[in-house]
Amino acid sequence: MSNAISRREFNKRAAAVAAAFGLSNFDIPELFPTVHAASEPVKWAMIGTGTRALDLLRPLSTNTGGQCVALCDIYPPNLERAAKTIGGSPTHYDDYRKVLERKDVEAVMIVTPLDRHAFMTLDALSAGKHVFCEKTMVFKEQEIAALREAVAAHPKQVFQVGLQRRYSEIYHMGMQMIRRGALGRVTHCYAHWNRNSDWRRPVADAKLERLINWRMYKEYSGGLMAELGSHQMDIAGWAFQADPRSVIGTGGIDYWKDGREVYDNVSVIFEYPEGQKAVFTSMLNNQHYEFGEHLCGDGGTMELTLAGPSGTGTFWVEPKAKATAAAGKAKEQWWAGATVSASATQKGMPIFPDEIGEDMPFMDRERAFGRRWLAQRGWYEVTEPKNPVGTQFEHFFMCIREGKHPLSDINVGASDAEAVVYANQAMDENRRVFWPKYRDQKG
Amino acid sequence: MNADKRRFGIVLSAFICVYLRLLSFGLAAQEIRYEASHVSMGSEYQIVVYGPNRAVLAEACEQAFAEIDRLDDLLSNYKPQSELSRVNATAAKGPVKVTPEFFDFLRVSDEFRRQTFGAFDITLGRGRLSLDTRNSTVEFTTPEVKLDPGGIGKGLAVDHAIDILKAAGIKRALVSAGMSTINAIGTPPGEDQGWKITIRSPKSKDIAAATVYLKDNSLSTSATYEKGRHIIDPRTKKPPENGVEAVSSMAITGTESDAITKCFFVLGRQGASAFLRAHPSDRALVCDPECSWVK
Ligand SMILES: NC(=O)c1ccc[n+]([C@@H]2O[C@H](COP(=O)([O-])OP(=O)(O)OC[C@H]3O[C@@H](n4cnc5c(N)ncnc54)[C@H](O)[C@@H]3O)[C@@H](O)[C@H]2O)c1
């Protein structure tokens, strides 16, 4: 666990950020494992070793908390590529059920096309495996219910969904700031995810079109909502701490008219119980505004994104008029001094997952202060110290070893999947779709 | 009968009096403190106002901020479409007709230059303004002239904001341009001395160099601690060599406190002392580097 940081150290960093914002006692959940040198690595297998798998296998190849014992894919070239990426000598399979039969496999990671997530997860849970399932968890209403039931029936097995923002320090800082009132009353989440590409992959043999370009077809795919929007609706739900009440939206195949079945652009608005709105837009013909989430409250704005090498978080204070009773007020107390340029506040304050400790070596401390100074002037961007894509597996293995509950659990995965399912329904059927518990009392 | 009526009348009016007293008492007790901020001219402007009606206070603050933005559009040397930029671009080639407001601004600036023997100069000593009152035109005497509003722009903005608040009937207010110019109307409720302002020391933003009370007057501060030695002596075109690290001046208007602060930075303690003898209502704290009030 060479590059893992201890929980103690992490909490110290959190405290440093808290101090920077005048807050106290940050309570960031356990993202990182306590290092047990003696504990056996978790024996795991990956099912579906395509494009995403490579992003997961790279950090997994240096994660000593686990050991890859099997890889499974029905498309041999992808299996080969994955084997090279992870190294070691995992057994190769083309039938995932054979993987599940192996007694020594403790955990499986399901990284297949979306339509396969549900049955593979159900089978893996029945086989007694811990499961990491890529997002979106599932894409049909009845699948959500089935998974909820299965996970509840196997309480000793860890079930974790691949929503990596839940393992990002910057996102945790942001959410803690929200809980502590930095944004005041949070009313809006603006999320966008744009690309400049047809979203297709080259296909050597026409027979493979539906396997390789599964994202284009409704049988396997939830389109942009599932592939991109799901990450961001997870953030909206995390910030608002609620599930939506309803969703409206519109989508179309308006630019890439190439026989695809899923929309090449979508615009949806989710409404939350206290009137908060989450807006998600996505297009495939312009990537100038690539992706990120803006959380807006009456006290401030926060931009969170994993875009760029490893993501950034920025915070702006909202100028806010305050009216209070003059009676019983504190005495007026003002300071005078040379003007502090407002450009720093206009540029926003970076969210620092960065520790400046008393016991730090002198040069490290100076460097940290230097970075902070540069960042406040907008000359330096504060980025995530660790890639959350890798961190999520440190967390996964820790949960398995220590019998802990994962952060992106079945509830997080299910809420997220509901947002995808109902948004697609709203667009497909051109109507406002209500979450089940609001269906009788709409209006 | 008549006497009864009269007595009733007296009792009634006594009741009404008491009732009105109570009513006005009740209203006074409901006085509201309203605080708002706004970014303009690269600074954060803050306004605090007191009054009985929240809507009136909010509207007055909005109007004051709008006025500050309007002045920024007029006087900014960063915005190419501002009147000041237009004059900078053309006034060396011949007389330029300007708005009465801008003409006034130039006249006041030039008056300060004369009063301070060139220690305050909106052209930073690069030439003269030839002002034609009848035609409301300005011409630069040399092509090097460029107007720099930095000396009094914020002071002027604060004064305009104060005027708007007064026009809205507000009797207690404070306007701060990013702490560097602060102007106040009246006093906060229950604080008869005025608005308590702590002037920071050049050594640290948490250390007080002095405390003053503002009451229908203004305080401006310039210092080297934020932007370095950014003030130029218009007479030598160099940063002054008088050891001054910070100056805070008090005057009736923000325009004047802003201008004399810049001027004392250049003149140093002795020059400031000479100027203040001729302007007994003004005061100045000079840190060179020890902070003390100019005698
Ligand atoms: N968390 C993220 O940021 C993120 C990013 C990209 C993709 N994903 C998710 O990862 C999943 C996979 O996406 P991808 O881009 O890697 O797709 P992909 O098409 O590149 O890879 C899927 C792989 O699954 C294999 N496969 C299909 N059916 C199989 C079966 N029955 N048994 C074994 N293997 C099978 C395919 O041959 C292919 O190699 C999707 O759910 C996607 O949403 C998540």
pLDDT of residue B284: 97
For the record, the structure tokens of A259 come out as 């026989």
Count CA atoms within 13 Å of residue A322 on its CB side.
Answer: 12
pLDDT digits (tens, 9 = 90+) for A183-201: 999 999 999 999 999 999 9
**From A90-94, A262-266, B8-12, the region with the lowest mean pLDDT:** B8-12
- Per residue in A361-387, pLDDT tens? 777 767 777 766 677 666 666 777 778
For chain B, report the end-to-end CA distance as a whole number of angstroms: 75
- Name the pLDDT band for B30 (thresholds 50, 70, 90): confident
The answer to whether B246 faces chain A, any CB pair under 8 Å, is yes
Residue A311 pLDDT:
76
Alpha-carbon separation of residue A167 from A12, A58, A136, A413 (angstroms): 17, 17, 16, 14
From chain A, the residues in CB contact with B30 under 8 A are 325, 327
Q: Which residue has the tokens 């409404």?
A: A271
Residues 6+ apart with CB under 8 A from B290: none
What are the DSSP E strand ranges found in A85-177?
A: 91-93, 107-110, 130-134, 159-162
Q: Which of A319, A323, A332 sits opposite B37 (nearest CB)?
A: A319
Look up residue A326 and give its two tokens.
Answer: 């003059």
Q: Looking at this predicted complex, what is its ipTM?
A: 0.81
Distance in angstroms (rounded) separating the CA atoms of residues B66 and A349: 26
HSE-CB for B28 with a 13 A CA cutoff:
8
* Partner A contacted by B180 (CB < 8 A): yes
* Helix residue ranges, H only, B36-138: 54-75, 83-90, 100-115
Closest protein CA for atom 7 of ligand 1 = A52
Distance CA B240, CA B224 (A): 11
Q: Tell whether omega for the bond before A314 is within 30 degrees of 0, i.e. cis.
A: no
Q: What is the CA radius of gyration of chain A?
A: 23
Q: Is A48 in the pocket of ligand 1 (CB under 6 A)?
A: yes
Shortest CA distance to A228 belongs to which of A293, A173, A131, A148?
A: A293
Average pLDDT over residues B5-24: 59
Give the Cα separation of A380 and A232 in Å (integer): 25
Compute the mean pLDDT over every residue in chain B, rounded to the nearest whole number: 89
CB B174 within 8 A of CB B197: no
Average of per-residue pLDDT across A62-75: 96
**B283's tokens:** 């005061």
Closest CA to A286 of A264, A267, A261: A264
pLDDT over threshold 50, residue A1? no
- pLDDT of amino acid A387: 86
B222 touching A, CB under 8 A? yes
First to last CA, chain A: 53
Instruction: Determine, for residues B37 and A320 on separate chains, whether the beta-carbon distance falls below 8 Å.
Output: yes
pTM score: 0.77
Strands (E), A25-180: 42-47, 66-72, 91-93, 107-110, 130-134, 159-162
Residue range B46-65: mean pLDDT, rounded: 95
At A9 the pLDDT is 47
From the list A126, A153, A121, the residue with the least C-alpha distance to A137 is A121
Q: How far apart are CA B93 and CA B91, in angstroms?
A: 5
Instruction: Give the nearest partner residue to B179 out of A331, A335, A343, using CB atoms.
Output: A335
- CB contacts, 8 Å: B61 with chain A: 321
* CB A116 less than 6 A from any atom of ligand 1: yes
- Closest partner residue to B180 (CB to CB) among A324, A332, A339 is A339
Is the pLDDT at B74 greater than 50, yes or no? yes
More confident residue, B24 or B11: B11
| Residue A376: predicted pLDDT | 66
> Alpha-carbon distance B127 to B234, whole Å?
10
* pLDDT classification of A309: cutoffs 50, 70, 90: low
Task: Using a CB–CB cutoff of 8 Å, tell me whether B254 touches chain A.
Answer: no
Instruction: Please name each of the domains of chain A with its CATH number.
Output: 7-25+169-384 (3.30.360.10), 42-165+390-410 (3.40.50.720)
Helix (H) or strand (E) holding B262: helix B254-278
Kindly identify which residue of chain B lies nearest to residue A331, measuring between CA atoms: B191
pLDDT band, residue B237 (cuts 50/70/90)? confident
pLDDT, tens digit (0-9, with 9 covering 90-100), for A20-45? 444 444 455 555 555 455 578 999 99
pLDDT in tens, B128-158: 999 999 999 999 999 999 998 878 899 999 9
Q: Is B8 exposed, middle or buried (0-12, 13-18, 19+ CB in 10 A)?
A: exposed
Strand residue runs (E) in A158-264? 159-162, 186-194, 246-252
Q: What is the mean pLDDT of chain A?
A: 88
pLDDT at A22: 43
Query: Ligand 1 within 6 A of A165 CB?
Result: no
- Mean pLDDT of the region A174-178: 90
Query: What pLDDT is attached to residue A30?
Result: 55
B52's CB contacts (< 8 A; 6+ apart) are B27, B28, B30, B31, B32
Beta-strand relationship, A107-110 and A433-434: unpaired
Q: Which of A38, A44, A82, A48 is nearest to A63 (CA)?
A: A44
Mean pLDDT across B166-178: 96
Does the CB of A204 have a partner CB in chain B at under 8 Å? no
Report yes or no: B20 at the A interface, CB cutoff 8 Å: no
- The distance of B138 to chain A (nearest Cα, Å) reads 30
Which of B32, B176, B205 lies closest to A326 in CB terms?
Answer: B32
Residue B235 confidence (pLDDT): 87
**Best mutation site among A57, A73, A119, A420 for ligand 1 pocket (most ligand atoms within 8 Å of CB):** A73
On chain B, the residues whose CB falls within 8 A of the CB of A319 are: 36-39, 44
| DSSP helix, strand, coil percent of chain A (3-state; round to 5) | 40, 20, 40
The residue with greater pLDDT, B29 or B284, is B284
Residue B191 contacts A, CB cutoff 8 Å: yes
Residue A305 in contact with residue A311, Cβ under 8 Å?
A: yes
For ligand 1, whether the C-beta of A75 sits within 6 Å is yes
CB of B259 closer than 8 Å to CB of B154: no
**pLDDT exceeds cutoff 60 at A106:** yes
Q: Is the confidence at residue A266, as pLDDT, over 90?
A: yes
Q: Mutation test of ligand 1: which of A51, A122, A233 has the most ligand atoms closer than 8 Å to its C-beta? A: A51
Worst-scoring range by mean pLDDT, A10-24, B16-30, B70-84?
A10-24
Instruction: Lay out the sheet containing A91-93: strands in order across.
Output: A91-93, A66-72, A42-47, A107-110, A130-134, A159-162
Q: Indicate if the pLDDT at residue A169 is higher than 60.
A: yes
Residue B282 has pLDDT above 60, yes or no: yes
Residue B2: per-residue pLDDT: 58
